[in-house]
Structure 1
Amino acid sequence: MTTAATTKVQESSAPAITGLPDMKVSVRQVFGIDSDLEVPAYSEVDPHVPDVDADYRFDRATTLAILAGFAKNRRVMVTGYHGTGKSTHIEQVAARLNWPCVRVNLDSHISRIDLVGKDSIVVRDGKQVTEFRDGILPWALQHNIALVFDEYDAGRPDVMFVIQRVLEVSGRLTLLDQNKVIKPHPAFRLFSTANTVGLGDTSGLYHGTQQINQGQMDRWSIVTTLNYLAHDEEVEIVLA
């Protein structure tokens, strides 16, 4: 165990795969959490890396769950009340790892086509041709992207079953329209945020949320809860 905040990963003799983390960061030094865990990270900033909020305060349990997702390629769902900073928490962890992160809001307008892709007419060599354009899911799956599905419990059923295909760590996405099977990039990560735990709106606060297939809920490796902070902690954040 090194005391430095960052440690270079030893090079492997295996064929090089672009977009892999090239260093590790100390959880203790970077996140202020008493743990010997080291997490893969990038030394360079990508355009998709969120901006760092230097004053952000990390919740220990939530941060460790998200870090486990990055370090061990686990599927992590963060649940809790509105306004608790669930999505921001994931973004700020990604920002400190220099890990590209893309958020998708699963509102009622997001369709299967938006996720998977569709045929589009393009002009090539002066002629109109039809070619398949990947949606956000195949694109992210093939890159070192941390994909975050916001409002996961508001997604349409047909959309949710598309996501279910890739919830397994080795989950490959089959594009039936293209007779193509996409293998996930080794640095692809999947996260989600939700106000409920897959049970729908039982409190009356979140009209429009839906029950999530329990077979799909079981595929999320880690489900953690982030709720409102104690009064004194909120005061410290405001003062910061």
Structure 2
Amino acid sequence: MSTTQRFDVATTFAIQAPRGLEIDGFADEDHPQIPTRQPYVFRQGLNAVLAFLRAPEGDALLLSGPTGCGKTSLIRQVAARLNWPVQEVTCHGRMELSDLLGSFQLSNASTRFVYGPLALAAREGHLLILNELDLMDPSELAGLNDIVEGAPLVIAQNGGELIRPHRLFRVIATGNSVGAGDQTGLYQGVLRQNLAFLDRFRVLRVSYPEPEVEQSLLAELVPSLPREIAEKLVVVANEVRRLFMGESLDPVTSNPSDRAGQSELTLTLSTRALVRWARLTVTFKGAPNPLAYALDQALTARAVAEEREAIHRIAADVLGGLWSGAQ
């Protein structure tokens, strides 16, 4: 059984927190399932995540929000700082509960039962992260109801083996919807989930980071990118996101005449894509119009022609002379 330890919240997450506020984690820093620690600025949602980790009270946690807003990375970076091992799965329409429990596999001319991520997490006290939860068949997910509430996990495939969940076992899911299906038409394959299953979740809505947070992130991850350019890349990202979310462009940073006839976008400039754009801009420094070339590779090469043109127009308006003159 792994040794646990207490972590000071303010020191561990570099945030302001009451003196003496602590949370359980693990002492072993070398477990292979601990996520890699990366530069990260924790946001408001951290409080809800820590409250859940401290005392789930029979609940699971669902993080919902638009693509690339940092749902999974929030959990990974919390786990990295608490030395909390993670079993992470990306759900899909053909996944079955048995895939999470485990199966018999051939090894050295004999078969043995290999535990799946759910069984391992429950036994060892790991975090089970179910990414894209709303892509999975709700009838299969219903098999998680009892284990979420703390009941023993029964593995019928392995002779009815009983696993009593570790006190630090937690179930966390992410999704672009909150289980009621996709109302936007942007996320193919999203399924409406069972109400009884969803009733076992706390829900945390996650949005894109504040501009200051993303600017700090770019400064740390891409330090060679000039600050002026980094700030404008963040502005472009937020303009694109407004259109993706069905909102109008920012009246402060945009010309009203340029907004006439603008339509909503079916792709967005996530934090992940923003960092990619910044890194590629540095990589292609010295090439003709590196910002446009990097934006193409980071995002717009997969857009339809009209949307690519719209995004590049936004970038050109925000970046001004830097758009074609960045060196």
TM-score (norm 1): 0.81
Alignment of 1:176-191 (within 5 A): 176-177=156-157, 178-191=159-172
1:148 alignment partner in structure 2: 129
> Whose strand proportion is higher, 1 or 2?
1
SS at match of 1:90: helix
The answer on 1:59 being equivalent to 2:59 is no
State the Cα distance separating 1:49 from its structure 2 match: 0.8
1:165 to 143, 146, 156: 146
SS at match of 2:78: helix
8 Å CA contact retained: 2:87, 2:118: no
The superposition leaves residues 193-228 of structure 1 with CA deviations (integer Å, 9 ceiling, x where unpaired) of 1111111101112121111111111111x2111111
Question: Which SS does the other structure have where 2:50 is aligned?
Answer: helix
Task: Return closer, same or farther for 1:156/1:20 CA change in 2, 3 Å cut-off.
Answer: farther
Which of the pair is proportionally richer in helix? 2
Contact 1:106 1:155 in 2 (8 A): yes
Q: CA deviation at 1:112?
A: 2.7
Unaligned runs of 5+ residues in structure 1 are 1-17
Q: By how many angstroms is 1:68 displaced? A: 1.9
Instruction: Identify unmatched segments of 5+ residues in structure 2.
Output: 221-327
2:13 paired residue among 10, 16, 31: 31
Determine if the alignment matches structure 1 residue 207 to structure 2 residue 188.
yes
Give distance in 2, aligned partners of 1:97 and 1:30: 8
Q: CA deviation at 1:131?
A: 4.0
Aligned-partner SS, 2:2: coil
Kept after mapping to 2: 8 A contact 1:141/1:188: yes
2:32 to 4, 23, 47: 47
Percent identity of equivalent pairs: 29
Contact 2:125 2:167 survives alignment (8 Å): yes
Secondary structure of 1:165's aligned partner: helix
Aligned residue for 1:235? 215
1:68 maps onto 2:51 in alignment: yes
- The number of residues matched between the two structures is 214
CA contact (8 A) 2:152 2:162 kept: yes
4+ residue runs of structure 1 moved beyond 6 angstroms? Answer: none
